[in-house]
Amino acid sequence: MQQKISSDTTRKKKVVDLHVIKVACNECSLHQLCLPRSISGTDLEKLDDIIERKKPLKRNDHLFQVGSTFQSIYVVRSGSLKTYSPTVDGQEQVTGFHLPGELLGLDAIGKGHHPCAAKALEMTSVCEVPFVNLEKLTQELPTLQHQLLRLMSKEIFDDQELMLLLGKKTAEARLSAFLLSISLRFKQRGFSCSEFYLSMSRNDIANYLGLAVETVSRMFTRFQEDGLISAERKHIIIKNRDDLQKIAGINEYCTDQTKKDSQAVL
């Protein structure tokens, strides 16, 4: 239960680190966690004190393996990762994609080890937050605890939205819901929601959606023919969001704020 991580004495001075984090984490989901409005200067230093920067991961590097002991939660700073579980027949099943500002490892707190592996899809850097330290700190800072609970709740909420996605019957409904989901997540981090790069392969997408690669490829082609999107390899442009939403057949993923609000009411 002792953490070796914070015994690292070669770390740069707090103040400098903090400054960098403050700037870079502007659109990060940990932003709320790291820098609640009400937090005081000394509290902020305490929090900064427990956050580590991992050295960047290269494509296909693992952030953690299946079954590895849980020590920290991670926030994607840049790049992206996929999480996956091994299946009986030696294949892997992709369980999620993690974009900048999103969290990894929350599913491991309960059991003490990671139920899935996390692999970088491209050059990726993450922040590491040793959990024992974070938990200790939440006892001192009630706002921090509240933020942590909110973030975990959001994770549960997001997972359930993805279950809605995977519960869809047709391949086109799944793929369009997937694309809208990615689009929304980019938007939430301050990126364009109508134009973005998919870092994951068609194979990963197919695996994740429970479809054959060929089907996914054909759907991409069809969506292009129908003028719904432009897909140049990994470069995606959403050209007709409305129709995509109709195909997805769910009101969960709409980026239109008015719709989202009306949905929230009863």
90 binds a copy of itself (CB under 8 A): no
**Distance between CA atoms of residues 120 and 204, nearest Å:** 13
DSSP state of 12: P
Q: Which of 152, 222, 243, 255 binds a copy of itself (CB under 8 A)?
A: 152
- Its sign, for the CA torsion 155, 158, 164, 166, is negative
Nearer to a copy of itself, 127 or 165 (CB): 165
CA distances from 196 to 112, 183, 243, 245 (A): 35, 8, 19, 18
Residue in the block written with tokens 């009986």: 88
Nearer to a copy of itself, 153 or 221 (CB): 153
Query: Which of a copy of itself, DNA, none does residue 214 bind (CB under 5 to 8 Å by kind)?
Result: DNA
Q: Which of 22, 31, 113, 218 binds a copy of itself (CB under 8 A)?
A: 113
Binding mask 13-52 vs a copy of itself (x if CB under 8 A, - otherwise)?
----------------------------------------
Strands of 92-98's sheet in order across: 62-64, 117-120, 81-86, 92-98
Binding range to a copy of itself, per CB under 8 A, among 2-10, 50-58, 223-231, 250-258: 250-258
* Residues binding DNA (CB under 7 A): 59, 169-172, 201-203, 210-218, 220-221, 231, 233-234
**CA-CA-CA-CA dihedral for 52, 109, 154, 244, to nearest 10:** 90
59 binds a copy of itself (CB under 8 A): no
